[in-house]
Amino acid sequence: MSDVSQGPGWWLASDGRWYPPNQEPQQLPPPPASLPPYQVPGVPPQYGAYPIAYGQPGIALPPRICTACGGVVIATASVCPRCGTMLGTPKDKTVAILLAVFLAPWNWCYTYRRDAAKFWIGLSVFILGLILTVVLIGFLMIFGVWLWAIIDAATKPDVYYRQFPNGSS
């Protein structure tokens, strides 16, 4: 290392000093080519292209298209901001009834946004019933929560469940 070149092969580093030929840094491979852009079908080009590699931090997902109005919607949105249409597959009443039959009171987690109070009350009574099974009144409490869950799920209209697209309870 020197402040001036000592002959052929010496190289000038970024720190302003000259280094002998045997101390050359290893050649790094060229940086990888950027990912090819992905243009979403039906989305005007002014919204830009999106990288193909999804799920990586800092990489945007391609927008979705609203099936009702045709507007461009953010990929993670559950409701179209233009027309208010629910995006995604709506929840099903049959699933709610099956959850009530086999997993009461956890069936209210299916529509937790509106049924949070029912879930916590039902879970509390269910656990208290499990504790009180020793004195046999607990069986009545468990049966009551189970029956309440089934009746509640069966009497709600189908429209109630269509308000909850999958993935956003």
Using a 10 angstrom Cβ sphere, with 0-12 exposed, 13-18 middle and 19 or more buried, the burial of residue 72 is middle
- Which residues, other chains included, contact 147 with Cβ-Cβ below 8 Å and sequence gap of 6+? none
SS3 71: coil
pLDDT band at 25 (very low <50, low <70, confident <90, very high): low
Q: What is the pTM of this model?
A: 0.49
- Distance, in Å, from the CA atom of 36 to the CA atom of 43, rounded to the nearest integer, reads 17
pLDDT digits (tens, 9 = 90+) for 55-76: 445 555 677 778 778 888 887 7
- Give the pLDDT confidence score for residue 159 in this predicted structure: 79
Three-state secondary-structure class, residue 92:
coil
Stronger pLDDT, 149 or 34, i.e. the higher one = 149
Domain ranges of the chain: 1-31, 36-87, 93-162
pLDDT of residue 126: 93
Find the range with the poorest average confidence among 32-41, 84-93, 103-112.
32-41
